[in-house]
Amino acid sequence: MDLHPIELLSNESPDALVVMTAIGKIVHWSHGAQTIFGYGRDEATGRLLADLVVPTGGAPEQGRMLGETLVLGGATYESVRRRKDGSLLYVDVTTKRLQRDGWEEPLVLATEKDVTHIKVLRDAKLMEARFRDLLESTPDGIVMANPTGHVVIANSQAEKLFGYEPGELRGKSVDLLLPERYRRAHVTHRSNYFLQPRKRAMGSGLDLAGLRKDGTEFPIEISLSPLRTEESAFVMSAIRDISERKRFERALQEKNDELASANQAKDRFLASMSHELRTPLNAIIGFTGTLLMRLPGPLNDEQGKQLRTVQTSARHLLALINDLLDVAKIEAGKVDLEIEPIDGKAVIEEVAATLRPQAEGKGLELIVDLPEPPSLLHTDRRALSQIVINLTGNAIKFTESGSIRLTLRQEGGAGVTRISVADTGIGIPVEDQSKLFGAFSRVTSSRPRAPEGTGLGLHLSQKLAMLLGGHIAFVSESGKGSTFTLTLPGE
């Protein structure tokens, strides 16, 4: 035996023996210290103990204990340390001031004993006695861990969730329950969590996974809450397996994607078909027109009548296609709006001028009621004009006698603008009112001989109004008339 007893002690003691200067700089780092903290002698010597193994937030305590040792000659305390790999452990520390004649300043000897396991078991007993019944009664898996990240207690739901035998998780590191890739981040999270513990609700974190004992993973949701007892601080995690929900969400997402692409395909189809349909239709309308004008030669009455039917139907079809094309464009987000300052009055006057012959042809009065000053609006002229034409066209179509009144009102300056089209027509039965803005919705119930239409006009107008940031509303009474009002936002 040629080892000096002191050397033997330093080499063989399972506890960490550390000698440091009065400011905590390490001058001796025993074998036990290397094993417990993971730093080699060369890595540790010359470093401050507080920098090396004291976790964030623990420096003041370390400073205090060093001071106490220097003043009183020694100290005994329990503390938390951080290993080189980031994991935390509990230590029982005993310190002693070393002073020799001829030394410039005293040194400090510290013995640090790893008591993590003992402490976990002690805490586990206490916590079991206090909380076991409560924890067993909750449906979620519950794991309570101490600040070093060791499981103090896990309820049977948690054990089942992760595939462990009863009691098997006690004293284990909670890292075991996480896939490898999360562990590093988790260690940091955990130390930070104890510095600033707060409640964190289920699902407020990232997408997390749990690791079963057999190595398989499953998606989890965790909520954390701090729990302070006289002995220590703990963190309670409620863990829920969300595999089922994730599967459901994925299926839903896939369905959504499918629907979105089907919808896009429909819009593309509509846009291109509408275009393809218009070309031959224009030929039909054009040639029917020349035939009716008798340019190629005379027609008898019956031929004239039948050609007029062809013409009416073809025009109807063209209107339908035009509307469809517009709807498809809006739904595909392909409408280019040109928002510019325009005079709202001018738009209404134009529409009135265009449709007046149609109204007067039916013996209806078309009244235009506009304020004196020009009405400045920031909007798309074409879209606005299309809406007013649609509303006024409908009013004329569904009114047999009386008048159509176009009104524009603006709230002071360039505030909210309201454009109304009021008629004295047949009105809309209450039961049909709610579906009026839907595509292809036409009131047919009380109207065996409804004027022709596509049922797209109002749908389209409402969509355009929304694109302009406004909306269309109406009031109507069967047999008395209807008033449709377009509201556009101010600046």
In the bound complex, what is the minimum distance in angstroms from residue 485's beta carbon to ligand ADP? 12
402 or 490: CB nearest ligand ADP = 402
How many residues bind to ligand ADP according to rule CB under 6 A? 21
* 458 forms part of the interface with ligand ADP (CB under 6 A): yes
- Exactly one of 482, 485, 486, 488 binds ligand ADP (CB under 6 A); that residue is 482
| Listed ranges 214-222, 326-334, 405-413, 439-447: which one lies at the site for ligand ADP (CB under 6 A) | 439-447
In the bound complex, what is the minimum distance in angstroms from residue 477's beta carbon to ligand ADP? 10
* 210 forms part of the interface with ligand ADP (CB under 6 A): no
The total number of residues written for the chain in this structure: 491
* 456 forms part of the interface with ligand ADP (CB under 6 A): yes
24 or 457: CB nearest ligand ADP = 457
> What residues contact residue 384 under an 8 Å CB cut-off, 6+ apart?
342, 344, 347, 377, 468, 488
282 or 444: CB nearest ligand ADP = 444
In the bound complex, what is the minimum distance in angstroms from residue 281's beta carbon to ligand ADP? 17
In the bound complex, what is the minimum distance in angstroms from residue 449's beta carbon to ligand ADP? 12
Q: What's the 3-state SS for the chain?
A: CCCCHHHHHHHHCCCEEEEECCCCEEEEECHHHHHHHCCCHHHHCCCEHHHHCCCCCCHHHHHHHHHHHHHHCEEEEEEEEECCCCCEEEEEEEEEEECCCCCCCCEEEEEEEECHHHHHHHHHHHHHHHHHHHHHCCCCEEEEECCCCEEEEECHHHHHHHCCCCCCCCCCEHHHHCCHHHHHHHHHHHHHHHHCCCCECCCCCCCEEEECCCCCEEEEEEEEEEEECCCCEEEEEEEEECHHHHHHHHHHHHHHHHHHHHHHHHHHHHHHHHHHHHHHHHHHHHHHHHHHCCCCCCCCHHHHHHHHHHHHHHHHHHHHHHHHHHHHHHHCCCCCCCEEEEEHHHHHHHHHHHHHHHHHHCCCEEEEECCCCCCEEEEEHHHHHHHHHHHHHHHHHCCCCCEEEEEEEECCCCCCEEEEEEECCCCCCHHHHCCCCCCCCCCCCCCCCCCCCCCCHHHHHHHHHHHCCCEEEEEEECCCEEEEEEEECCC
Rounded to a whole number of angstroms, the distance between the first and last alpha carbons of the chain is 96
410 or 454: CB nearest ligand ADP = 454
- Exactly one of 55, 58, 453, 470 binds ligand ADP (CB under 6 A); that residue is 453
In the bound complex, what is the minimum distance in angstroms from residue 418's beta carbon to ligand ADP? 17
- Using CB under 6 A, which residues numbered 222 to 281 contact ligand ADP? none
In the bound complex, what is the minimum distance in angstroms from residue 433's beta carbon to ligand ADP? 9
80 or 472: CB nearest ligand ADP = 472
150 or 459: CB nearest ligand ADP = 459
* 345 forms part of the interface with ligand ADP (CB under 6 A): no
| Listed ranges 26-34, 123-131, 211-219, 449-457: which one lies at the site for ligand ADP (CB under 6 A) | 449-457
In the bound complex, what is the minimum distance in angstroms from residue 468's beta carbon to ligand ADP? 18
* 486 forms part of the interface with ligand ADP (CB under 6 A): no
210 or 427: CB nearest ligand ADP = 427
- Using CB under 6 A, which residues numbered 346 to 405 contact ligand ADP? 390, 394-395, 398
In the bound complex, what is the minimum distance in angstroms from residue 427's beta carbon to ligand ADP? 6
Binding string to ligand ADP for residues 407 to 436, with x set by CB under 6 A, is what?
----------------x-xxxx-------x
| Listed ranges 78-86, 90-98, 208-216, 457-465: which one lies at the site for ligand ADP (CB under 6 A) | 457-465
* 443 forms part of the interface with ligand ADP (CB under 6 A): yes
- Exactly one of 32, 210, 457, 470 binds ligand ADP (CB under 6 A); that residue is 457
115: amino acid identity, one letter: V
149 or 427: CB nearest ligand ADP = 427
459 or 463: CB nearest ligand ADP = 459
C-alpha 488/C-alpha 491 separation (Å) is 10
190 or 459: CB nearest ligand ADP = 459
Assess contact for 171 and 123: CB atoms under 8 A: no
> What residues contact residue 250 under an 8 Å CB cut-off, 6+ apart?
none
C-alpha 174/C-alpha 178 separation (Å) is 7
220 or 456: CB nearest ligand ADP = 456
Which positions touch ligand ADP (CB under 6 A)?
390, 394-395, 398, 423, 425-428, 436, 441-443, 453-459, 482
